[in-house]
Amino acid sequence: MSIAASVPIARAQRNLAPLSVAAASFLLLLVSGDSLLHDPDTLWQIKVGDWILDHRTVPWTDLYSLTRQGEVWLSTSWLSQVLFATAYSWWGWGGPVVLTAAAIALAMGVLLAFLQRHLDLPYALVFCLLAITLAAPHLLARPHVLALPVMVAWSGALMAAADRGRAPSFMLLPLIALWANLHGGFVLGLALVGAIGLEALWRAPAPRRLALAMRWAAFGLGALAASCCTPYGLDTLLGAARILSLGKSFSVIAEWRPADFSSFSPFAGALLGLLGLGLTRGLTLSPPRVLLILGTTWMAMAHVRSIETFGVLVPLVLAQPLSGWFKPACDAPRGLRMAPGAPAALAAVAIVLATASATATFAAHHTFAFSTAQTPVAAVNVLTERKAARIFNSYGFGGYLIVRDIRPYVDGRSELYGEKFLMDYFAAEDGRDVSGLLRMLDDNRIDATLLTPDSPAAQVLDHIKGWKRVYADEIAVVHARDDQAVTPSSGG
Taking a C-beta distance cutoff of 8 angstroms, is the pair 280, 329 a contact? no
Name the least confident of 271-275, 327-331, 374-378: 327-331
Q: How far apart are the first and last CA of the chain?
A: 47
Please give the angle made by the CA atoms of 481, 485 and 488, to the nearest 5 degrees.
Answer: 125
pLDDT > 70 in the chain, percent: 89
pLDDT at 13: 43
Handedness of CA 385, 386, 391, 395 (dihedral sign): negative
DSSP, collapsed to helix, strand or coil, labels residue 413 as coil
pLDDT, tens digit, 9 for 90 and up, residues 118-171: 888 888 999 999 999 999 888 999 999 999 999 999 999 999 999 998 999 999
pLDDT at 488: 45
Q: List all residues 6 or more positions away from 468 whose beta carbon is below 8 Å from its beta carbon.
A: 479, 480, 481, 482, 485, 488
- pLDDT tier at 343, thresholds 50, 70, 90: low
pLDDT score of 487 more than 50: no
pLDDT at 326: 61
* Rounded-to-integer distance, Cα 60 and Cα 71, Å: 8
pLDDT score of 438 more than 80: yes
Question: Which residue has better confidence, 273 or 111?
Answer: 111
- pLDDT tier at 84, thresholds 50, 70, 90: very high
Order of strands across the sheet that contains 477-481: 391-393, 448-451, 477-481, 467-472
pLDDT score of 353 more than 90: no
Taking a C-beta distance cutoff of 8 angstroms, is the pair 117, 319 a contact? yes
Taking a C-beta distance cutoff of 8 angstroms, is the pair 144, 39 a contact? no
Instruction: Give the pTM.
Output: 0.87
DSSP for 94-138, written as a single string: HHHHHHHHHHHHHHHHHHHHHHTTTS-HHHHHHHHHHHHHHHGGG
Element (H, E) at 420: helix 414-429
How much is the average pLDDT of 474-484?
Answer: 86
pLDDT score of 39 more than 80: yes
Question: Which residue has better confidence, 273 or 485?
Answer: 273
* Rounded-to-integer distance, Cα 491 and Cα 124, Å: 51
pLDDT at 344: 59
Q: For 228-341, where are the alpha helices, taking DSSP H only?
A: 235-243, 266-281, 287-302, 307-322
